[in-house]
A and B are shown apart, each in its own frame.
Chain A
Amino acid sequence: MTEDKIKNLLQQADKAAGGANPVKVNVTVIRRRAGRKNMITMVAPFASAAVLMVALGILAFMFRTIEPTEEQKKIALLESRIKQLQARTDAALSLIQEVLEEEQRQHRLDELHAKLASISDPLEEVQNQVDKTAFVLVYQADRLYRELNQTDSAVENYNRVIKLFPENRWAKVARQRLSEIERRKTNNTI
């Protein structure tokens, strides 16, 4: 029932709208447009192919490989030989450079060795100084004892030598002197 009502209502509304205006379909225009459409449909693959060919042609031209002539081959051969020679020269130069550097290094090393050899042994130097000091102390003590007759100061100096440089040969001398002084004192007392 409702369906019928809706149908009636729709039909009345459609009728009230007055229907479509009379339409004039122009067959000639349709034929022309269809022809154009057909042409586009037919031409499109060819056009695409042409564009593709042109693109490929451009690419081929960009990345083309041309067969070289005899002269070009010779030039190429010469160029390659020159390159080889240059490479060899470079290698020889680099070897010479390395040898020179090695020589320089060796020379420098020799110089350093010589310098090292010329430097005196610090321990020996110290030993010399010690020896010298001990000698001076013993010499002064001898003078005090023999020339100035200051036995106590001389004994003090000998003892200092023995205390400071017990292993030194002048310590031995100092001990001899002390024992000599001691002996003389004993003799004098007797």
Chain B
Amino acid sequence: MAEKIDDARLVEQFRRGDKSAFERIVKQYSADVATLSNRLLGWPGDVEDVTQDIFLAAFVGLKKFRCECSLKSWLFTITINKCRTNRYKRWLRLRRFPQEINKVSLSLDSEEKDMDADEFRHVRRAVAALPTRYREPVVLRYLQEIGTDEISRILGITKNTLNVRLSRARKLLKEDLAELIEL
């Protein structure tokens, strides 16, 4: 509740033309936004550029923000949209230059050498390979540990839909990571 009041005050200050208000918003939420972007873009992504775009969109749209949800949720909604756009652009780029795909997989291979790292890399790949509609709920629920009410608000879906998607995502992950889950 205190966070919400703080958000409202920051937004009000921003509307009145207080330049420091936006800087405080950036300082407060940039780490969370970057972390979510990193997870949604599949460890690692173009986090810096995406984060910059997210805060640009926030700067442009902040005057219209009506404080119906927390500023963090609102920023996460923007993050989700920007990450979708970024992934789509990346997919278009890779489709045009298929040799880039090999480079991406090579760079992932060269990062980690030991057994555990291989397993974790496999897990992250499984998450990254999930369809967007399943990956986003999984990241928000299990990695960001956000409540289902807020996730459904961020994604603009009902709670039932969210639960169905989470269930299906778990099923897919279970199939993909069966060996690791059994251990």
Contacts and interface: CB of A to CB of B under 8 A. Distances in A.
Interface string B159-183: 0000000000010011001001100
A25 interface: yes
A145 to B, nearest CB: 130
Interface range for B: 35 or more
Interface in B26-59: 26, 30-31, 34-35, 37-39, 43-44, 47-48, 51-52, 55-56, 59
B123 A9 contact: yes
A34 B124 contact: no
B59 A31 contact: yes
Contacts of A29: 52
B181 A30 contact: no
A23 B32 CA distance: 10
Nearest to A32: B56
B97 interface: no
Interface string B102-133: 00000000001000110111011001000000
B143 interface: yes
A2 B181 contact: yes
Contact of A25 (B38, B52, B116): B52
Contact of B47 (A20, A26, A27): A20
A144 to B, nearest CB: 127
Nearest to B49: A23
A25 B123 CA distance: 30
Contacts of A33: 56
A79 B143 CA distance: 90
B44 A20 contact: yes
A34 B60 contact: yes
Interface of A: 2-3, 5-7, 9-14, 16-17, 19-27, 29-31, 33-34, 37-38
